[in-house]
Amino acid sequence: MARFPEGFLWGGATAANQCEGGWKADGKGDSTSDHLTGGTVDTPRRYTHDIEEGTYYPSHEAIDMYGHYKEDIDLFAEMGFKCYRFSINWTRIFPNGDDAEPNRAGIEYYRGILQHMKDKGIEPVVTISHYEMPFHLCDAYGGWANREVIDFYVKYATTLFTEYKGLVKYWLTFNEINCGLMKFGDYMSLGILPKEDGPTMFMDPNETVEDRTKRFCGLHHQFLASAKAVQAAHEIDPENKVGCMIAGNMPYAYTCNPDDQLAAQRAFYQGNYYCGDVQVRGEYAPFAPRIWREAGVELDWRDGDRETLAAGTVDFYTFSYYMSSCVSTDPEAAKAAGNIFSGVKNPYLEASDWGWQIDPKGLRYYLNDVYNRYRVPLMIVENGLGAVDERAEDGKFHDSYRIDYLRKHIEAMAGAIEDGVDLIGYTPWGCIDLVSASTGEMKKRYGFIYVDKDNDGNGDLHRERKDSFDWYKKVIATNGEDLD
Ligand code: BG6
């Protein structure tokens, strides 16, 4: 029996802010991502309110997919991609976010991409907002903490549904929406400007109830915006399928101590179901009020909010999955690094060079858990290994470690399908090398396709196939049967 269903959506994923570049091209406005400097595993990226002359901002050029999209899509087609997940840069469509009319050049740019994909037989999976929004909406309105931003987003999303009717069927409203629960997401996800220039990722020891209120209300506003967008998408074209996108959080209890078990359950629920329940079931989970109480926040409920959430539930659940973590109530347990979810080191797992604990079986566990809770189709829209790729003596990139990582995760997917999970697609992250979101580096590469560019912006941007390119081509051609 075939392990993957007929029509399974094999593909790859990218995000505009990490690959497009062209930051001022054809009327594009300033995005939040354009204000983040480069960094490394040891040096955090910095936010700067004003663009500093002489400072390197990786999104400004990125891998210039803006200028290379045909060549890149041709390479995806050569691998046999059935689908390609990419995001639209909000600032190409509405440069300031509150503009009366959309920017036609931006609309036509994405039409060109979609048309080229159609010509190549690749199904688009479009993220409407991926860690990027008009900087003006943050500076002048306060980002998602302000309820007015809901309408700007809905206008933007509605413009996309109308313009690209018939060209796009699968939409995702917000990338990793659950990052809005964390300090990490205040700027990246919610567009709440830091009080001063500097790193944005870390917990602020002086965080106030007001800061937390902005965060929880900002996320509530995103839920409302997402629900309204789902309704608009269905009205404009009943063929549209809209998904949520959650950063897959897979915490294990470090020991069988019931305290650890409870802490891990709480981390799983909070990390995944806080957002999943609202977006899939149309209401907050029973544990949500406890979270608000503990954070000391009052959510800004308005008349009609509950009905809006209930009316805008998604058609499918998508998520990213890179690693798992361990939860311990013992303060001495050693910490493991991660871009979003740090935790205790798991002695059974190996970690990537960036400290992410590699765990294919955790993916199967996660798929089973989420499917049994929601019973809607699932899609893995990010997964992969960020690694340093060195050119070998024969001039090629032999990335067997990446193949090994992906192979084990695909095996885990096949296992989950056998367990009864309705998994409809798989789009490994950074199918072409791009800028890392957490560190702003090029050195942390995920791609099947190598891009000649380094952390400082040097390189001629030419593209090359790695060994994983041919391997993935074979995986797709055999619908996941041949993983050798
Ligand atoms: C996810 C994001 O968190 O992880 C992507 O949706 C990101 O934007 C990816 O690039 C990998 O993280 P990083 O930090 O290695 O780029």
Residue 334: pLDDT band (50, 70, 90) is low
How far is it, in rounded angstroms, from Cα 230 to Cα 218? 18
- 117-175: pLDDT as tens digits: 999 999 999 999 999 999 999 999 999 999 999 999 999 999 999 999 999 999 999 99
CATH of domain 9-477: 3.20.20.80
Sign of the alpha-carbon dihedral angle for 172, 173, 178, 180 = positive
Ligand 1 pocket: which of 339, 380, 385, 446 to mutate (most atoms within 8 A of CB):
339
- 378-436: pLDDT as tens digits: 999 999 999 999 999 999 999 999 999 999 999 999 999 999 999 999 999 999 999 99
| 382 noted as active-site residue | yes
User: Of 28-32, 259-263, 339-343, which gets the smallest average pLDDT?
Assistant: 339-343
Kindly report the pTM of this predicted structure: 0.97
- CB-defined site of ligand 1, < 6 Å: 15, 18, 131, 175-176, 247, 320, 339, 382, 386, 429, 436-439, 444
337 CA distance to ligand 1 middle (Å): 14
On whether the CB atoms of residues 84 and 427 are closer than 8 A, the answer is yes
Q: Which of 139, 172, 149, 118 is nearest to 50 (CA)?
A: 139
**Helix spans in 80-147 (H):** 90-93, 104-119, 135-141
| 350 noted as active-site residue | no
How far is it, in rounded angstroms, from Cα 420 to Cα 355? 32
DSSP conformation letters of 348-415: T--B-TT-PBP-HHHHHHHHHHHHHHH-S-EEEEE----B-----TTSS---HHHHHHHHHHHHHHHH
- 346-386: pLDDT as tens digits: 989 999 988 899 999 999 999 999 999 999 999 999 999 99
Q: Which of 298, 138, 289 is nearest to 209 (CA)?
A: 298
Q: What pLDDT score was predicted for residue 336?
A: 52
Residue 318's beta-bridge partner residues?
Answer: 245, 379
* 368-382 core/surface letters (b: 16 or more CB in 10 A; e: else): eebbebbebbbbbbb
Domain range summary for the chain, segments of one domain joined by +: 9-477
- 10-50: pLDDT as tens digits: 999 999 999 999 999 999 999 999 999 999 888 999 999 99
Q: Is 99 exposed, middle or buried (0-12, 13-18, 19+ CB in 10 A)?
A: middle
Q: Is the pLDDT of residue 193 over 70?
A: yes
Q: What pLDDT score was predicted for residue 481?
A: 97
